[in-house]
Chains A and B, each alone.
Chain A
Amino acid sequence: MNHAVETRALGRNFGARAALSDVTLSVRDGEMFGLLGPNGSGKTTLFRILSTLLAPTSGTARIGGHDVVHEAVQVREHLGVVFQSPALDPQLTVAENLRCAGHLYGLRGTELEERLLSSLHALRVADRLGDRVHTLSGGLQRRVEIAKSLLPRPRVLLLDEPSTGLDPAARAGLRLALDELRAASGVTIVVTTHLLDEAERCDRVAVLHRGRLVACEAPSALRATLGTDIALVAGDDLAALAARVTAELGWPAEVRGDKLCVEVPTGDNGAGRLVNALAGAAHTITVGRPTLEDVFLKLTGESWGAGEDS
């Protein structure tokens, strides 16, 4: 069985700048797969290549076994794409937009009308059928866009930063809709994001940094690679606290912003030993499981967001 998505040594240059280099990954059928990276990490370039809008300069990408360059039409038949800025005509009604999109995929007649209704019902926007798109909120437009992308019953759904511009309630609604959709149809979902909490909800996450793939694992596995918990320590002289941790316990400690960040070995009462070591000097000590932000720092040596300007 072909993978839903498969890339081999994929690269894309813009002039002398490599936006994407040597990315090899595969997405299994039915997976919720995250492409995680800060702005400038290459995830949008990868998204555009997978959606057949941009040709790679090296390597290959296949969707449902079809090459995105040489078999673009077959790839497009299998693909639903949800862009950051919804690909809807604001002057047309919801139904008109979906009908137009359906025709682009060769759908028409009662089959189109049935799919249109079921797809709008699935995303809970069927009551806005006759409304012009420009009268809908950003969250509703995103849902209509997803409903539209489902009309041809794609094998793979690509979403580019789907939470952008949505308020928390709309975000939660969108997550729920995607989860329901996956349970009902078994569609493979590939989502780009720069939001760590969104990546946490994926089955597996590909972490991109400066155009390179630095990890591709389940979020829990990524956290486990650190092998530690993370303690955040607040105090007056963080540098002195760091020196104390290194001297007494030998654990990596680093000042990040207004907190001291300590990698605490899991088990063996690590938290207790840290508290004893810093007794009297620290104001607060919070010990928690590492976040993907900690993992990103470990993998790249850069804190999350450091690559924003590149």
Chain B
Amino acid sequence: MGRGGGLMRSGGLLLLPVLALWRREMTRFLRQRNRIIGALATPLVFWLLIGSGLGESFAAPGVEGGFMRYFFPGTVVLILLFTAIFSTVSIIEDRRDGFLQGVLVAPVSRAAIVLGKCLGGMTLAALQAAIFCLAAPWVGLPFDGVVVLRLLAALLLGGLALTAMGFIIAWPLESTQGFHVLMNLVLIPLWLLSGAFFPARAGAWTEWAVALNPVAYVTAAVRRSFYGDGADLGLVPSYGVAMTVTAVFAVAMFLLALRAVRRGGPGSR
């Protein structure tokens, strides 16, 4: 064919399309200022208002410094979640506007379509959450080189998992209203029950809810990034366990998203 670039496999092109779709996500994001405000500013306002409202009246195992400090890792995960949602809701817009059809009729591997979107969402989510994390020293959270490295790994992996989860939800939907319903019914409760907002208590039903909730391991990874494995954080799993579960979560979500794309979108079956 005399075409340069891209890894041609029996399933279609992979690398060059992934790069092209990733770059499109970046360009779109930078041109839509309201998305930056929505994904970064909303959690920031939540954190400031709820954190200062509950203030010192809040106590959790091994966490001092009031709710502002406890809620900080949870806010980081909320930024990841909101960015992932904003990234994947565009799948529905892409389908409605027609852009997605143009991608689907191109000789690209279906994995490239999922990867382009998920890596794009991951980059944006991790970047915005990292910006917020710069505020960590102000609430007295440790913030040295080790913390930053652990944090970056957690943000990238968590961002990938949450974007892939958003992909699965958005793919079969024909309207963004449907996505908002699922966001309020599924995604926000998953976040609330992740230890982001309140810790799991041993013996209570929340212990099981948090233990079975994959998002809880993203929150745990972010929390452990700050505190390390030495600190007593009650039921919060170690960094290694949290990262392993998050990685399994990300791979599982990616494979489910890939299966959904291979099966076709709404109206194709």
Contacts and interface: CB of A to CB of B under 8 A. Distances in A.
Bound pair: A and B?
yes
Interface of A: 48, 51-55, 73-74, 76-77, 79, 81, 83-92, 96, 99-101, 103-109, 111, 148
B20 A88 contact: no
Contacts of B60: none
A101 B107 contact: no
Contacts of A111: 4
Overall SS of chain A's interface:
loop
B105 A92 contact: no
A85 B94 CA distance: 11
B6 A88 contact: no
A55 to B, nearest CB: 8
User: Which of B23, B24, B94, B269 has the largest number of chain A CB atoms within 10 A?
Assistant: B24
A85 B8 CA distance: 29
A162 to B, nearest CB: 13
A86 B102 CA distance: 8
B20 A100 contact: yes
B11 A73 contact: yes
22 contacts: A52-B104, A52-B105, A55-B269, A73-B11, A73-B12, A77-B107, A83-B98, A83-B101, A88-B97, A88-B98, A88-B102, A89-B24, A92-B27, A101-B106, A103-B16, A103-B17, A103-B19, A104-B102, A104-B107, A105-B106, A105-B107, A107-B5
A188 B5 CA distance: 27
B208 interface: no
Q: How large is the interface on B (under 10, 10 to 19, 20 to 34, 35 or more residues)?
A: 35 or more
A106 B3 contact: yes
B103 A104 contact: yes
A85 B93 CA distance: 12
Contacts of A87: 98-103, 105
Contacts of B23: 100
B243 interface: no
Contact of A83 (B3, B24, B102): B102
A77 B238 CA distance: 49
A18 to B, nearest CB: 16
Contact of A85 (B21, B97, B105, B264): B97
